[in-house]
Amino acid sequence: MKHIRNFSIIAHIDHGKSTLSDRLIQETGIVSDRDFQDQILDTMDIERERGITIKSQTVSLPYTAKDGKEYVLNLIDTPGHVDFTYEVSRALASCEGALLIVDASQGVEAQTLANLYLALEHDLEIIPIINKIDLPSAEIDWVKGQIEEDLGLDPEASILTSAKNGIGIADVLEGAVELLPAPEGDPAAPLKALIFDSHYDPYRGTVVHFRVIDGKMKAGDTIKFMSNDASYKVEEVGVFQIVRVPRKELSAGEVGYLIAGIKTVSDTRCGDTITHVKGGCEEAVAGFKDPTPVVFSSIYPVASDDYEELTTAMEKLQLNDASLIYEKDSSAALGFGFRCGFLGLLHLEVVQERLEREYGLSLILTAPSVQYEVEFNTGEVEIIDNPALYPDPTTISRTSEPFIKAAIIVPERYMGAVMKLCLDRRGISVNYQYLTNSRMEMIFELPLAEVVYDFYDKLKSITQGYGSFDYELIGYKETDLVKLDFLINGEKVDALAQLVHKDRAVSRGRVACEKLKEEIPRQMFKVAIQGAIGAKIVSRETISAFRKDVTAKCYGGDISRKRKLLEKQKKGKKRMKMVGQVEIPQSAFLAVLKSDD
């Protein structure tokens, strides 16, 4: 165990985690140059295209130190995005140390801090690394000052690298051996192992990624998962070296995988504890919780014949993504579909893109909403995430909505713009402090419903890309909620309904009506588009009718002839309006989701 080091790389988005992993893998030579490709640990197409990491990946690097000893470095690559914080925290729980990367030109940002606090909660040893030192805009002394002031770490211990050009990679490996502690654990104790990720292999079933804390595991053992008491017989254990390399056994301190013929990923929960069925450990590793969805949206196929294909696609996708939660849903306008829960907006986009790309489906998503708590006059409490299920307002005594605590780090000059944005979104300013003379951290409490709409894009644009944002849920607060319905030609369209705050209903209704007017084609009769709260109409737009000139053949003569023809036309249009159906195009559903800019 003295020669094992388990560590992960943490950083803000785009500070160079995956590139540094690439260089460490090349330096230790486990992949030949011919087989190497950039972002080698990002296996999904969508990860490569967007340049983000979605799933944690692991790799065992054999390394010969300067003193001639052989070491095994287990690198756990973690996602940097705020939606996947829970996966990051489980990956950190299986490490003893972390490499904290800071971009030499951007400095410390919101998620650098958030990930540092996560690492400190797990008592990890932290090595600061200043990356991208080859950039013309790199300011190394300025970043060292930030590392000391904002992060409270020793700036002289930081390692200077350029992962892109391979500068300083040997120092990182040497630093990991010298500065990070070896794992502790008792190979003779009962088996205790922590699951930090899993993925699905179509031929072998679920491949579980885990870290052995105490004891040993080998093929043929009967193991159980402590959260759901499911027991399995192990077929194979081994380590990751880009490809899976089987081993006879894994003992305390090691990181690897196991295959045990597990049919679904949902049986193996991230953060769960594995032990032997006979003579297992007494208590599980602390900190296990089911990932909770925060954003909800319904997914429908564009062509209702594709419902069967969507069902199969959702089942297959859930094999790979255990945090995706869904149930059947139906709508009068859109037919059958699924109501899904996501960890955040990025997770929603990723799921939508994977369904469209990997399974060739065309989809419509309804407006993303959050879970509201509704307390009835009888004292019962119900949780509602779907506007269609919102009960009669007279039966409700109060409603509450989830709030988040948002930490926003911005250069001082954008303070006013950020303040205005957050107050417009019903935010409450809690605190702000200067991190350095020109950068500040602003803390707000914001309703989650206002953030899922388009908050992040707005923040990036008003701060010209310099603002960084991190959030955590803090619980429910009372709110004044109304259901905003949309009527087209007098008929309610349930798929367009939204739950909004009372003060926002009129402006949101107006914007949506204008958008619908642009998208819905003209008919032979007038079409009214109305936004309504209960029986009260709050906004309206009218699509004017096509009009045939019936008086064209009456030139001169008595006015009563013209009037008679116009009256006849009017009656015809009235009759058409009563029986006429207004087809709503797909683009109209999407247009309502977009903001007014």
Provide the CATH number for the domain around residue 433. Answer: 3.30.70.240
Q: What sign does the CA torsion over 121, 122, 126, 129 have?
A: negative
**Domain final position from 242, 276, 310:** 276
Neighbouring residues of 414: CB distance < 8 A, sequence distance ≥ 6: 462, 463, 464, 466, 467
Q: Give me the pLDDT at residue 215, please.
A: 86
Residue 481 DSSP class: E
How many CB atoms are closer than 10 A to CB 270? Answer: 24
Query: In this structure, are 511 and 447 located in the same domain?
Result: no
Provide the CATH number for the domain around residue 344. Answer: 3.30.70.870
Q: Give me the pLDDT at residue 46, please.
A: 56
Q: Give me the pLDDT at residue 587, please.
A: 66
- Answer yes or no: are the C-beta atoms of 223 and 260 closer than 8 Å: yes
Q: Give me the pLDDT at residue 579, please.
A: 64
Residue with tokens 């930090």: 196
Query: In this structure, are 197 and 167 located in the same domain?
Result: no
* Domain assignment of residue 313, given as a range: 295-365
Determine, yes or no, domain membership for 285.
no
Query: In this structure, are 253 and 316 located in the same domain?
Result: no
Domain count, the chain: 5
Q: Which amino acid type is present at position 199? A: H
Q: Please, what is the angle between helix 169-179 and helix 17-28, to 10°?
A: 90
Intra-chain end-to-end CA distance of the chain, in Å: 58
**Domain final position from 305, 339, 365:** 365
Strand partners, 477: 401
Q: Give me the pLDDT at residue 124, please.
A: 86
Query: In this structure, are 244 and 377 located in the same domain?
Result: no
- Cα(494)–Cα(499) distance, integer angstroms: 12
- Cα(30)–Cα(20) distance, integer angstroms: 15
Strand 363-365 relative to strand 335-342: parallel, antiparallel, unpaired?
unpaired
Binding-site residue positions: 14-19, 131-134
User: Distances from the Cα of 145 to the Cαs of 2, 108, 153, in angstroms?
Assistant: 34, 10, 10
Provide the CATH number for the domain around residue 538. Answer: 3.30.70.2570
- Cα(250)–Cα(318) distance, integer angstroms: 29
Per residue in 123-147, is it b (16+ CB within 10 Å) or e — as a string? ebebbbbbbbbeeeebbeeebbebb
> In this structure, what token pair is assigned to residue 595?
């903001």
Determine, yes or no, domain membership for 281.
no
Query: In this structure, are 446 and 514 located in the same domain?
Result: no
Query: In this structure, are 262 and 332 located in the same domain?
Result: no
pTM of the full predicted structure?
Answer: 0.68
Query: In this structure, are 82 and 155 located in the same domain?
Result: yes
Q: Give me the pLDDT at residue 181, please.
A: 86
The ranges of the chain with pLDDT < 70 are: 31-56, 79-87, 110, 265-266, 287-291, 319-322, 332-333, 453-454, 465-466, 576-581, 585-587, 589-597
> In this structure, what token pair is assigned to residue 122?
């797990």
Q: What does the pLDDT look like over 412-442, one tens digit per residue?
A: 888 888 888 888 888 888 888 887 777 788 8
- Cα(488)–Cα(508) distance, integer angstroms: 16
Determine, yes or no, domain membership for 322.
yes
Determine, yes or no, domain membership for 184.
no
**Domain final position from 365, 397, 422:** 365
Binding-site residue positions for GTP: 14-19, 131-134
Query: In this structure, are 564 and 426 located in the same domain?
Result: no
Query: In this structure, are 44 and 159 located in the same domain?
Result: yes
What is the Cα Rg of the chain in Å?
29
- Answer yes or no: are the C-beta atoms of 185 and 2 closer than 8 Å: no
Query: In this structure, are 216 and 88 located in the same domain?
Result: no
Determine, yes or no, domain membership for 587.
yes
Determine, yes or no, domain membership for 335.
yes
Provide the CATH number for the domain around residue 63. Answer: 3.40.50.300
Burial class (CB in 10 A: 0-12, 13-18, 19+), 454: middle
Determine, yes or no, domain membership for 143.
yes
Determine, yes or no, domain membership for 565.
yes
- Cα(44)–Cα(390) distance, integer angstroms: 38
Query: In this structure, are 14 and 157 located in the same domain?
Result: yes
Query: In this structure, are 515 and 474 located in the same domain?
Result: no
Q: What does the pLDDT look like over 131-165, one tens digit per residue?
A: 888 888 888 888 888 888 878 888 888 888 887 88
Q: Where are the alpha helices (DSSP H) in 94-168?
A: 110-121, 140-149
What does pLDDT average to over the chain? Answer: 80
Q: Give me the pLDDT at residue 206, please.
A: 82
- Cα(125)–Cα(64) distance, integer angstroms: 22
